[in-house]
Amino acid sequence: MLGIDYSQDSITLAEKIREERGDEYKDIKFKTIDFVRSERVKSNLLLREDDHAVDSKETSVDGVEQAKEEEGEEAWDVVLDKGTFDAISLSDETVHEQRLDEIYIQKVGEYVKEDTGILLITSCNWTEDELKSKFLAGGVLSFFGRIKYPSFTFGGATGSTIASVAFKRKSRSS
């Protein structure tokens, strides 16, 4: 599983927590990803410094095999976003007249394995329907499932304070 964030401080905290929890969580990786620029920032724990050339498959530092995309970047079975999209969505900043959350939506699917990989987004700012509307529009992802949370009714509408939605990465040929 890959946990992503644009903040290196958040990644450092997540890595510290993983280390404190022991070997049971050693296969969880974290990566700082700058979705605005095309370059990808590599976490030292994720890839060795000498990992310039990539094969169709590569083994990470602790021996976990990762599938590779055609561009040579890693693709993961599970990519977890717990609040990153929420934080990015709060920004009014644009790059080439495109909002940061729109750029994120376009690029995050690149880190998910084709056909089998899952992007799991947990949001406190967006409803399930809003997340589906945003992430399905690009045609890279399809709806896979959701986590059910306790709901409440207010003003005739029923909802939840949190939404967790799983999207599956489509193959390039579909």
> Could you give the angle at the alpha carbon of 32 between the alpha carbons of 31 and 36, nearest 5°?
130
Strands (E), 42-140: 57-59, 65-68, 74-75, 78-82, 94-95, 98-99, 118-123
Name the nearest CA neighbour of 62 among 98, 19, 97.
19
22-66: pLDDT as tens digits: 888 888 888 877 665 544 333 333 332 333 323 333 333 333 333
70-112: pLDDT as tens digits: 344 578 899 889 888 998 899 888 888 888 888 888 888 888 9
Class of domain 75-169 as given by CATH: alpha beta
Find tokens 């050693």 and name the residue.
Answer: 26
What pTM value is reported for the model?
0.69
**Residue 12 CA: distances (Å) to CA of 4, 7, 15, 32, 66:** 11, 9, 5, 9, 22
